[in-house]
Amino acid sequence: MNVASPQPTPQIAAYAIGERLPHHVAQPATVAEVAEVLAAASRTQAAVAPWGAGTRQFLTNPPLRYDLALDLRRLDRVIEYHPADLVVMVEAGISLGALQAVLAERGQWLPWDPPAPETATIGGLLATAAWGPLRLGYGGPRDWLLGMRVVLGDGRIAQSGGRVVKNVAGYDNHKLHLGAFGTLGVIAAVTFKVAPLPERIASVRAVFATPAAALHAATAIRQPPSQPVALVITVAETVTLAVRFAGVAAAVERQLGLATAACARAEAVALSVDDRELWAVPSTPDDALVLRIGVPERMLAAAVDAVTALAPSHLSIFPGLGLMVGRWPVAAATHLPALRQTLAGMDGYAVVERGPAGIDRWGPPPPTIDLMRALRRRWDPAGILNPGRWLVE
């Protein structure tokens, strides 16, 4: 294994988080090596930032201490793939794009479309609870995860779940690591169930005069029998609704028709058959304030009003998921406390996905924060994993 003297020499600068640079970079090639690194770091109280492709490090605060970047990209093997069982097990450093390519050769996929799939690693995407518009139709990665092998903060290697689609043996510990931002352990290997690629995928795009008109159409589009797999309203220079269907060609065809009819009041409607371009997620500029906003589904329209009143430069609304992602100039951060108060009245929240240093990223902690802290102390007793970076310290 290589700690600070590898081939090729790791560029320390490539592992910057905010202004901070690590003292060392480790690039383990096996799970056992990851365990060695974390056990040693725990003994010496060295602060570790687990690192996938680094595409989502901006989601949390820069570390208080940063001794070691733990680059997991050499753990990039497909361990087992059983197409006939629709199950795949991979090491966590493989990129989602590389995994999808392997699956596509057998006519299968993981219906999961988070940003930057070509580079972002499975481990990093899971640790940061990354998702994309397909979550509407297929659920999130939590619904596709069958099992996981994790190296806990103290270097113990632990697994949970299994390799079959149904399993109630032991606790579902793997779910705890999903969205934990590496504060409980480092995800080392993951088993997913996968799905056959749909026969056809196609979309309708429509331009509306107002967000309210688009939301109205979105509600109509979601009525049974239609089962859109993705639905987003983008509010920028124009208000655009995009809806995606997947499945048997004839069923997709009928749903495209129903969706087009539901968009009767739109200013313009376009059918997009090869729609990959339409659903590619654009990257956000570094100097923006980006908020992820969640509300109960029935509060979505009211929340959209509250958010659009703050004039975001770009807003994506996900009807059916109760989620929004909005972008503002950094100066808009002064509105955050008031917005949080409004959203709290709807049982909602706003999380800062990108923002200026020192901003309160998560708002008030959940009432069960004591349980979360107790769990973290069990699995990362030395507090070496991403110290100061996330909600649970």
Partner 1 sequence: MRDDLVAALLRVVDPAIVLRRPEELMLYEYDGSVLDQGMPEVVVVPRTTDEVAACVKVAFQLGAPIVARGAGTGLAGGSVPEQGGLVISLTRLNRILAIDPVARTARVQAGVVNTDLSLAAARYGLHFAPDPSSQRSSTIGGNIATNAGGPHCLKYGVTSNHILAATVVLADGRVVELGSAVLDAPGYDLLGVMIGSEGTLGIVTEALVKLTPNPEAVRTFLAIYDDLDAASTTVSAIIAHGILPAALEMLVGQGIAAVEAAVHAGYPAEARAVLLIEIDGLGEEVAAQAEQIAALCRQYGARELRAAQDEAQRAKLWAGRKGALAACARIAPHYHIQDGVVPRSRLPELLRLTEEVATRYQITIVNIFHAGDGNLHPLLLFDLRHPGALERAVAASEEILQACVTAGGTISGEHGIGIEKRDYLGWIFGPADLAAFADVRAVFDPDGVMNPCKLLPSGSSCADIRHARGALRAVDRGAWI
If the CB atoms of residues 25 and 134 are measured against partner 1, the closer one turns out to be: 134
Q: What DSSP character marks residue 20?
A: B
Binds partner 1 (CB under 8 A): choice among 28, 123, 312, 322: 322
Binds partner 1 (CB under 8 A): choice among 22, 117, 294, 312: 294
Write out the binding residues for partner 1, residues 203-242 only, by CB under 8 A.
224-225, 227
Write out the binding residues for partner 1, residues 73-132 only, by CB under 8 A.
82-87, 107-108, 129, 131
Q: With beta carbons less than 8 A apart as the criterion, state whether 5 and 25 touch.
A: no
If the CB atoms of residues 27 and 60 are measured against partner 1, the closer one turns out to be: 60
If the CB atoms of residues 102 and 195 are measured against partner 1, the closer one turns out to be: 195
Shortest Å distance, C-beta 110 to partner 1: 14
Distance between CA atoms of residues 116 and 316, nearest Å: 17
Distance between CA atoms of residues 26 and 384, nearest Å: 15
If the CB atoms of residues 118 and 360 are measured against partner 1, the closer one turns out to be: 360
Residue 297 in the binding site for partner 1 (CB under 8 A): yes
Q: 10 Å Cβ neighbour count for 14? A: 12
Write out the binding residues for partner 1, residues 361-390 only, by CB under 8 A.
362, 365-369, 371-372, 374-375, 378-379
Q: Which two tokens stand for residue 16?
A: 């910057």
Q: Write down the residue that tokens 């991403």 correspond to.
A: 386
Q: With beta carbons less than 8 A apart as the criterion, state whether 37 and 106 touch.
A: no
Residue 160 in the binding site for partner 1 (CB under 8 A): yes
Residue 7 in the binding site for partner 1 (CB under 8 A): no
Q: How far is CA 161 from CA 128, 145, 166, 175, 192, in A?
A: 20, 9, 9, 10, 10
Q: Give the H/E segment covering residue 344.
A: helix 336-344
Shortest Å distance, C-beta 193 to partner 1: 10
Write out the binding residues for partner 1, residues 240-279 only, by CB under 8 A.
247-248, 250-251, 254-255
